Structure formats: C-alpha cells, structure tokens
Chain A
Amino acid sequence: MRDTASAPALAAKAGGFARLEALLPVVVLAVGGSCLPLLGDSYLGVIATRACIYWVLVSGLNLVVGFAGQIAIGWVALLTLGAYVTSVLSAGTVMPELSPYLALAIATIAGAISGVIVGLPALRLRTFYFAMTTLGFATIVTQIALAWKSVTGGGVGVPGPVLPWPFASPWGFYYFCLAIAVICTWMTTNVAASRFGRALVAIRDAEVAAESVGISKPALLITVFVFSGAVAGLAGGLFASLQSYITPDAFTFDLSVLFFIAILIGGRGSVLGPLLGTIILTALPEFAAPLVAWSTFLYAALLLVIVLAVPGGIAEMLDYKNRRPLAQHREIRPRSELLSKLMTDNANPTVLALNNVALSFGGLRAIDGVDLLIHSGEVHGLIGPNGSGKTTILNVISGYYAPQAGQVRLNETALQPRAPHTRARHRIARTFQTPRLIGAASVLENVMIGGTIDGHGAFVESLLSLPRHCRDEALLREDAVAALTAVGLEQLAAVRSDRLQHSELRFVEIARALMLRPSFLLLDEPAAGLSVDEIKRLGALIVAISRRGTGVLLVEHHADLIFDICDRVTVLNLGKVLASGSPGEIRAHREVVNAYLGA
C-alpha cells in the first residue's frame, strides 16, 4: 500500500511545478521583449510597441472572453474611451493640462467604470444578446467621438499624450509599454491560477455546478469587468500616445475583431495562448505587405477554422501533457479511512426539513405536499418511479426551484428559495444526475472549485499574488488532494477531466462536494453507470461520509444499494410520500412493493 502521508507533499510538489509553468508567459514576454531593441530595427519597435499595447487590453479581455466565456466583441469601445480621456486631459482642450501619467491613471479609472457598464448586460443576457450589446457600444462610442466636436475634435481629432523623459524616445516608450504588458501578464497569470480563475471557467463551462459550490456569478463577473475595463482604458491611453494623433477612424471595428480573435486563436482558459495570438495577429500583416487589405478577412477566416477545427486553439496544441495515453482498465478504490484528513467529525446533530413542499410545472404537480426530515449522520434514501419528483426535491433543497408552497429549513433557519449559490454557505453540497464538471480543467482543479467559498483572499490579493492568496491556494490544493485520495482518484489529479470515464466523473463530483465539508450531501443517482464492484465501494464511501456526521440524501434506482446502506428510506410516488421508514419496513410495505419494487 502506498504511503498515505505523502499526499500533502505530492500537493506541494505539483503546486510548485504548476506555478513555474504558469509563469512561463511572463518570462517569455519579459526576456524576449527586453532583447528586441538589440535588433536595432525601429519599425520593428513600433510594431512591438503596438503588440504590447494590444496585449495590455487583451490580457484583461482574456479573463472575460477566454475564462468567463462571455462573448464581448466590442471591446474597442473601451480602447477608444481610454485614448480620448488621456488625450483630451493631457492636451488640455477642455481644462488645464494634466500630466500624462495622471491622465493615464484617470483613463484607467474611466475604463474600469465603463467596463462595468459595458459588461452589466452579461449578468442577465445570453451569449448572442451580450455580443450584440457590446457591438452596439462599439458603434456608439465612435459616433459620440465623431459628434462631440468641442471635446474630441470630431473628425479632426486630438493629439495624443507625450510621456516625458525617459519614455519620450520610441524605444523608451517601448520599454514603458513592455513593462506594463509584463505586469498585466503576471497579474492575469496569477488570477488564472487562483480560485477566481477557476470560478470564471466554472461559470463558462458548468454554470449550474458553479452556483452549487457558492460562486456568485454577478459579483465575480463585475470584478473581472472592472479589471478588464481598467487595463483597456490604460491601453487606450498608451495607444493614443503611440498614434501621436487620434481620430475616430483609428478605432475601427476591425481592432475589436483582432482582440477577440487573438484570444480564441490562443485558446480559451490560457494566458500564453492569447499572448502568442496577439503577437501573431499584430505582426502578421506587417510582414506580408500585400496582406494588409486582407488582414481582417484572414482573421475572420482563421476564427472560422479555429472554431470548427481546433476549438482549443494554440493552447490545446501546446498541451503536450494531456496527449499521453491514460492507463487502461483503471479501478476506482476509495479510501474512506482518509476522510479524516479532510473532514472533522460533525458532532452537533442538525436537521434538514421539508415542510409540506409543493411545486408544479404548468399543470403537472411534480411534488405535492412533501414532508421530509434528513438527520445529520444518517444516510437517507429517496426512491420512487421515474417522474415521482425525486430530482425536483433535490432541486428545491439546493435552491434551483422555488416551491410554490412549504419551506425548506436547516435546523430553524428557512433556506432562501431560488438562490442556489447560498447553499454552499449552509454547507449543503450536491452532485448531479449527469456529472457537471469542467471538461477543460484538470481533475484537481475541478475538485478545488468545490472549496471556492473557503478562500479568504480578495481578487486584488490574487492579482498581486499576496500572502493570503498563496495560503488559500496551498490549503485548497491540499484539501483537494485529500478529497481525491479519499475517493480514490489521486493518480488522475493532473488529467483533463473530459478524458475520464463516466464512473470516474461521478467520484470527482463527490470529491468536489466533499471540499465543502458538507453537513448535508445530496447525491443524485451516484450509482448510475457504475459497475457492480464500483457500486459496492461507492456504498462504503457514502456510509463512511455519513459516519463523520454528514447527512446524506441519496436519490437512487439501485434498490440493493439503497437497502444496504440507508438508515431511513422515503418512497415517493406521483409527487407524494408513499411511505417512509427503516429499510426493513419499506421492503415489507405492500403499496411500495406494488408501485415500485415489484414482488
């Protein structure tokens, strides 16, 4: 048997390596960028400066598009805004001149505020709608720039800011932009590897699961829009300085397309990929002069090819680790004795109670006056024919549905209906009938998402990699390894979860739920699709979890599993409780045998 004490060491090692690898884009950019002036090509310098400025914007947009999956196609609006704010303030057309640095700072703040305004619709609207609203913003900002002549100079334009020595020379300015680009890369890399980065990806790929672990989509998205808007505003100021004179013509929709496509070509959920994408897209037309007119056409064609052929982008091509074949005939061997590493015994008896809960969908009464008491430390089986309301009850408890009558109470507190993200704070965790995991994230990351609400550091601390962030990460990682070891999947920690077998996904979901150290765990058909042996081990694991003081509500069709491990069983039929009692009583219940179990 393997040395069980090595789990934290394993976690630390994996963490260290992952950190080094994650910092790769920062190192690449800093070293490569600093050496560039050695070539002594001033035209190259201008292109490189432009690439740095674009990347400052794209690095922030990457969190919105690549990580959170929001289709923001009009981000040029923020570049325009930042450029005009900086230029107008430093040129002194409407008020006394400001120092270019102060103007840049104000542009950054203006960008942050506008980022929230542009992004706000994403909280309510679906993909295409949001894309349309950002497109609308992009059109309108240019129109305003054109029409508001007294401030923006209309079609004539305004001069861009000139930074004082030592950044006045082209190479000086280049270094200034490069430094900001490197800092942005470093910050977004930090976020990408933090609980915020993982939560963003969870919103993108598994929104329902994200809510169940307590991720609040509005709060998180707004934070990211602030950051993304701020760097876009800053990029706008730098862009104005590089252009030395700006008119509305400089901010075509083509630029927006470039930013957006650079991210998708680079690959969603990566920092290095979009960085390479930005450099390639900026440089490509410059080195192939006949292509200049065709550049946007080529970007669009490239986008089509990427979407249809390589949805993972450059990042997927670089992901050599996940091309190694996995071991065949893998077995899941949970080691429930290791649960103690993760969970302390829950001694206080708690009760989750449903009182007379009813819910209909249109004319269909899905559940009709259900009473249910789930006690901590017990396994409570919920069985019944298809359509009897089992999953609906789970969804009412975890807050996806609001019951039309009745209440869900935890001890004496009524749980807020239709607020799934509040359940994690009450330590109510769940799994789903079809596992909802982030296919593009590693197994370990998927499990770490379960502990999102237990992090203490704020977004800014993650951005700057401050001590609290590092402590959070180390702790989450350690817990996740412990949870994975307990369910028996620690060997697969680094594997992309979409490469796993179905049965393994079910155990990953349980590991993710355990990260909450749940006082109640709701399992929705966890044994579906598992082999006979796996079901036995699953049963033992569930019992072990409940003996630590967790109340388990088990929705299941495998009667053997239910009668083997449950302390109490409730049978539903047509949305009503048909019977409730010990497994022995249920097995002997006439109506249950007639309606469900069969003779």
Chain B
Amino acid sequence: MIESIVSYGLALGAVYALIGITYNVMFAASRVFSFSAGAVGMLGGVFGALFIDRLGMPVVLGFLAVLAVGALIGIVTEIVTVRPVLKSLEQHLYVLSTLAFALMIQQLVAIEWSTEPQPFPRVLPFGPGIFDQQFWLPMLACGSTILGLELLYRHTLVGRAFLAISEDNYAARALGLPERELRLASFALAGAIGALAGFTGGEMMLAYFGNGPLLNFYGFVPVALGGMGSNRGAVAGGLALGLFQQSANFLVGGVFASVAVFVVFILVLLIRPEGLAGAAAARRV
C-alpha cells in the first residue's frame, strides 16, 4: 500500500507541479494568473487520446503534436484574453477573461469530444508494476521541465530576457527588450508545459473534460503555498500535495482528502496570504 501511495502520490504531485509551473511561466511574463493553465492540462490528455488512439498517429508524432496544440492555446490565451486586458485600467479583469476562455475550451471539449472519461493510450511498451510508466512519466516530465527552465533562465540570452521582464517590466522595455514577443513566447512555453502535464498524466487522469477545473485548483495550491513565481516552490508544493492527497485518500477516503487539502489551503493563505515562501506585498499608496 505504501508503494502505491508513494508512486501514485508523487506522480499526481508531478502533474500538479507542472500545472503550477504553467501558472508561474505565464505569471512571470504578464503578472497574470490564467485559468487556461488547467484547460491546457486537460487538453494534453484529450488530444493525446485523440491523436494516438483515434487518429492512430505514432506516439512521438502525437506527443509533439500535443505540445504544439498546447503552445497554440497558450498563444491564443495571450492574444485574446491577456493582451487586451493589460491595456485596460482595471487589470483584474484578466480573472474574468481567462475564466471565460477556459470555460469555452471546456465546453467545446465536452460537446465535441465526450462528457465521459476516455481511456488514454499506453505511450511506451513496458509492462505494469510499481515502476509503471504512468507513474514515472509525469515525474520524468516534471524533472526535465525544471531542469530545462533552469538552463533556459540561467544560461541563455532569451531566458535572461524572460527574467528581466518578470523582474521589472518597464526597465526591460526601456532597455529595448521586445516585451510583447517575449510575453507571447512565455505563453506558448507555458501552454506546452501544461499540455505536457496532461499528456504524461493522461493514463492516471484519463482524457476527461472535467479535469480542467480540478487541475486549475490543485495546480494553483502549490503555487499559492510555495510563493508566486517560484518554480522550485511549485515542485516541492506539488509533490507534497500529491503525497498528502493520496495518503488521505487511502487512509480516510477521497472526500475527506479533498476537504483536508482545501482546509489546509485556506488556513495557510489566511495566515500567510503571500504563501509559505513568498515575500510580503509592496506599497499601495
């Protein structure tokens, strides 16, 4: 039982962490939290099943196509829901515009795909067991994403430009950085990461339109608790959340697991609104 709690918990946690990173990458570029993070996660599973199972694409090709779809959704998110709102005075309208967009995606999937969970194909021809691919694939994806982002941010010029924009938008623009293009690129990257989460977690979570809000919430918990914009915080928080949820699931039952996660989430935020590892808010007057 311990093994299945750990493997299942870590795998689920890795999916949450990846969605958390999706939030973070978008937030860093635009100071916007987007509800589309959960939506691209859900699409990762749905399109994986569509491309590989229904259309019979080779796994590698299907995988790349899923990432491309995710990136595309990211770009559309930026153009349709974020860019117009950043211009307006009331910036918190982004909550509404991204929510509307995520709901549209969800409803489209419900109508055009299915309202029932659909099976997700086996990606690699390895047998079942504790080291089943459905468990280590998300962890592998999470690890390589974190590594890739570190390399990108620390060792490439483009990555440093991303950092500059998230640190101080005005100063970065004054230096001549193409802020709009970089923001677009960030959203594309975020979309691909979200789709990766859905794809690698597909076997566990299935190709189901209702995964969107679920991933939205459980992906946001580690970000909120770990502190805004911190990818390491998101990974630590995500894995902890996954383990906690699975052990609660096995020991006391699913509903109480959800309630427990929720109560912890609310309590921590009420006590420390900036998250366990975050810094206090800046001046307002």
Contacts and interface: CB of A to CB of B under 8 A. Distances in A.
Interface residues of A, number: 45
- Looking at chain A's contact residues, the main secondary structure is helix
Interface in A68-100: 71, 73
Contact of A307 (B97, B108, B213): B97
A88 to B, nearest CB: 18
B95 interface: yes
B100 A303 contact: yes
B266 A133 contact: yes
A303 to B, nearest CB: 4
Contact of B265 (A73, A127, A136, A301): A136
Contacts of B85: 307-308
A73 B88 CA distance: 22
Nearest to A361: B283
Contact of A128 (B84, B95, B108): B95
A131 B258 contact: no
Interface string A382-410: 00000000010001000011000000000
Nearest to B253: A147
Interface string B262-285: 100110011001000000000111
6 tightest Cβ-Cβ pairs between the two chains A and B:
A300-B103, A297-B107, A304-B100, A303-B100, A147-B255, A128-B33
Interface string A146-187: 111000000000000000000000000000000000000000
Contacts of B140: none
Contact of B213 (A127, A135, A294, A296): A135
B104 A304 contact: yes
Contacts of A253: 213
6 contacts: A128-B33, A128-B92, A136-B266, A143-B254, A297-B104, A311-B88
Contacts of B185: none
B81 interface: yes
A296 B104 CA distance: 8
A97 to B, nearest CB: 27
B284 to A, nearest CB: 6
B158 to A, nearest CB: 27
B154 to A, nearest CB: 25
Given A121-B269, A131-B95, A296-B107, A140 B258 contact: yes
Nearest to B102: A300
B269 A129 contact: yes
B96 A132 contact: no
B51 interface: no
A113 interface: no
Contacts of A132: 216-217, 220, 224
A300 B107 contact: yes
Interface string B31-64: 0010000000000000000000000000000000
B2 interface: no
A505 to B, nearest CB: 14
A147 B254 CA distance: 9
Contacts of B81: 304
A348 B61 CA distance: 84
B136 to A, nearest CB: 29
A257 interface: yes
Contacts, number: 111
A395 B269 contact: no
Contact of B270 (A120, A137, A257): A120
Contacts of B214: 139
A140 B270 contact: no
A434 B180 CA distance: 28
Contacts of A120: 270
A118 to B, nearest CB: 10
A304 B80 contact: yes
Contacts of B240: none
B172 interface: no
A395 B97 contact: no
A134 to B, nearest CB: 11
Given A132-B224, A133-B269, A307-B85, A300 B104 contact: yes
A321 interface: no
Contacts of B104: 297, 300-301, 304
B273 A308 contact: no
A143 B258 contact: yes
Contacts of B88: 311
A71 B270 contact: no
Contacts of A297: 103-104, 107-108, 111
Contacts of A293: 111
Interface in B106-144: 107-108, 111
B181 interface: no
A146 B197 CA distance: 28
A395 B284 CA distance: 10
A73 B255 CA distance: 21
Contacts of B96: 71, 264, 303, 307
Contacts of A391: 285
B188 to A, nearest CB: 20
B270 A301 contact: no
